[in-house]
Chains A and B, each alone.
Chain A
Amino acid sequence: MLDLLSYGATGWGDEMVQGAGMTLLVAVLAYLIGLGAGCLTAAAKLSGPLPLRWLAATYTTVVRGVPALLVIWLLFYGGSGLIGWMALLFGYGGRVELSAFAVGVASVGLVSGAYAAEVIRGAVHAVPKGQLEAARALGMHRLLILRRILAPQALRYALPGLGNVWQMTLKDTTLVSVVSLAELMRQAYVASGSTRQPFFFYLAAALIYLVITTLSETGFRALSRRADRGVRRAAA
């Protein structure tokens, strides 16, 4: 049975490993996009001008309210049209095709960003007002306050939530298999089809996901512990 997972032309081991690599690549890129979009959206919600605030609220409400799969299909069918239209604004009239990879990273990143924005906004709110007042009283500029006072403290509050967003992003990458991107689920699907052993390959995929989620949970817990150093606790 296990020779199904051997490397080379007969086994599916190398395909599954490549699939896991692709899953991680999509997840990491989408998460980074999500963090960037989340920071900008949270900033817009907290202190942007009214139109921006409204735009940010629409983004987080809509994207958190519809299935990630729907966002993927929307970008898959509508993404190249949108990019083509934008390219036209810059004077490029050619046809633009989006790859399954680009669609996957962009859509999962878009979903990730909406959830990250809410986490970051909550974390910024959790920083005591007095900290910011003190910084302003010391004559710090906005950017300096952000870098020295707000960001380090907000990060500590945001870490557990950002860990959850990572787990969700990782799981959402499975949905990209519907546009035939060769990530782990897709490889397991292809392998199941050609060997007629679906249970075996989906179980193998499940185990790989289990390992990744468990390891990353340990990682985030370690990060949280590190961020919490120097914080006094009532019950130590």
Chain B
Amino acid sequence: MDMILSSLPSLVSGAWLTVQLVVLSLALGLVLSVGVALARLSANILFRGPASVFIFLLRSTPLLVQIFLIFYGAGQFVAVRESFLWPVLREPYWCAIIALTLNNAAYTGEILRGGIQSVPFGQIEAARALGMRRLLMFRRIMLPQAFRQILPAYGNEMIQMVQATSLASTITLMELTGAARAIASRSFQPVEMFVIAGLFYLAMNFAIAQAVRWGEKRLAHGG
């Protein structure tokens, strides 16, 4: 019991790092995914092509490979080491965020594409008839309806992201899984550490699920 109590502070700071990774990469990923989805839907092959390749590559390879490519792979090149990017790419923290963001943007981009495509065409016609410009129409008509449509799927993606951050422990980051493992390897109660870490994860998922449910209620028709 003492062991468990004394390990709680490092588990809590691990959980805090996990929350940072989740929030930052989800926020950046969401912004990027709007661009990815729009490019993917573009009639112009110069946008559609790269977006399709990006989505295909990021979704067909494991996240761990992507993290290692960025963290270990990029540092191999002198050009990278001497560039202004090096202070960022040297840090496991930012490498994890970059990898998680790109990965998330590919998955969310596809979800968002489905949402945008599900907006009834009459809505777009009506917006055009009112003389809305494309950007305004996109901001006021298409995105809000697309977001309502994708909220359940996006909730699942958020929960997947919480779990994906555990891979940051492979590049020395002491987030929740990394912290639990570090304590486990020098204690006689390894199992308890992982059970506690698991409870932290379940709590985060529960919070996300509640937030999604609240969002769904708010965004419901006429709400």
Q: How far is the CA of A203 from the CA of B62 in the complex (A)?
A: 12
Q: Is B84 an interface residue (CB 8 A)?
A: no
Determine whether the beta carbon of B69 is less than 8 Å from that of A66: no
- 5 sample A-B contacts, Cβ–Cβ < 8 Å, listed by A number: A66-B163, A67-B162, A185-B62, A185-B64, A206-B65
Query: In the assembled complex, which residues on chain A have CB atoms less than 8 Å from the CB atom of B180?
Result: 70, 73
Q: Is A46 an interface residue (CB 8 A)?
A: no
Given contact pairs A77-B185, A202-B68, A202-B69, a sample of 12 additional A-B residue pairs in the complex whose CB atoms are under 8 Å apart: A67-B162, A73-B177, A73-B194, A81-B191, A171-B64, A174-B64, A177-B64, A197-B76, A198-B75, A206-B61, A209-B60, A210-B61
Known: A73-B184, A198-B73. Contact between A210 and B202, CB under 8 A?
no
Determine whether the beta carbon of B77 is less than 8 Å from that of A77: no
Query: In the assembled complex, which residues on chain A have CB atoms less than 8 Å from the CB atom of B61?
Result: 206, 209-210, 213
Q: Is B72 an interface residue (CB 8 A)?
A: yes
Q: Which 10 A-B pairs have the closest CB atoms?
A: A77-B190, A199-B73, A67-B166, A198-B72, A78-B191, A67-B163, A171-B62, A174-B64, A74-B194, A174-B62
Q: Is A65 an interface residue (CB 8 A)?
A: yes
Q: Is A182 an interface residue (CB 8 A)?
A: no
Q: Is B57 an interface residue (CB 8 A)?
A: yes
Determine whether the beta carbon of B60 is less than 8 Å from that of A67: no
Q: Is B93 an interface residue (CB 8 A)?
A: no
Known: A62-B198, A209-B61. Contact between A202 and B169, CB under 8 A?
no
Query: In the assembled complex, which residues on chain A have CB atoms less than 8 Å from the CB atom of B181?
Result: 73
Query: In the assembled complex, which residues on chain A have CB atoms less than 8 Å from the CB atom of B127?
Result: none
Q: Is B52 an interface residue (CB 8 A)?
A: no
Q: Is A32 an interface residue (CB 8 A)?
A: no
Q: How far is the CA of A189 from the CA of B159 in the complex (A)?
A: 28
Q: Is A214 an interface residue (CB 8 A)?
A: yes
Query: In the assembled complex, which residues on chain A have CB atoms less than 8 Å from the CB atom of B177?
Result: 67, 69-70, 73
Known: A67-B177, A70-B198. Contact between A209 and B170, CB under 8 A?
no
Determine whether the beta carbon of A171 is less than 8 Å from that of B68: no
Interface residues on A, range: 35 or more
Q: Is B212 an interface residue (CB 8 A)?
A: no
* Neighbour of B65 across the interface among A78, A197, A209, CB < 8 A: A209
Q: How far is the CA of A40 from the CA of B78 in the complex (A)?
A: 54
Query: In the assembled complex, which residues on chain B have CB atoms less than 8 Å from the CB atom of A174?
Result: 62-65
Q: How far is the CA of A45 from the CA of B122 in the complex (A)?
A: 43
Interfacial residues, chain A to chain B (CB-CB below 8 A):
61-62, 65-70, 73-74, 77-78, 81, 170-171, 174-175, 177-178, 185, 188-189, 192, 196-200, 202-203, 205-206, 209-210, 213-214
Known: A73-B181, A185-B64, A210-B57. Contact between A202 and B194, CB under 8 A?
no
8 Å CB contacts to A: which residues of B33-57?
57
Query: In the assembled complex, which residues on chain A have CB atoms less than 8 Å from the CB atom of B74?
Result: 199
Q: How far is the CA of A138 from the CA of B206 in the complex (A)?
A: 45
* Neighbour of A70 across the interface among B76, B159, B185, B197, CB < 8 A: B197
Determine whether the beta carbon of B197 is less than 8 Å from that of A178: no
Q: How far is the CA of A222 from the CA of B42 in the complex (A)?
A: 29
Determine whether the beta carbon of A202 is less than 8 Å from that of B72: yes
Query: In the assembled complex, which residues on chain B have CB atoms less than 8 Å from the CB atom of A189?
Result: 68
Contact indicator per residue, chain B 75-111, by CB within 8 Å of chain A (1) or not (0):
1110000000000000000000000000000000000
* Neighbour of A65 across the interface among B60, B75, B202, CB < 8 A: B202
Determine whether the beta carbon of A69 is less than 8 Å from that of B77: no
Query: In the assembled complex, which residues on chain B have CB atoms less than 8 Å from the CB atom of A200?
Result: 76
Determine whether the beta carbon of A209 is less than 8 Å from that of B166: no
Q: How far is the CA of A189 from the CA of B194 in the complex (A)?
A: 26
Q: How far is the CA of A129 from the CA of B177 in the complex (A)?
A: 44
Max chain A C-beta neighbours (<10 A), residue from B66, B68, B170 = B68
Quote the shortest CB–CB distance from A17 to chain B (angstroms).
17
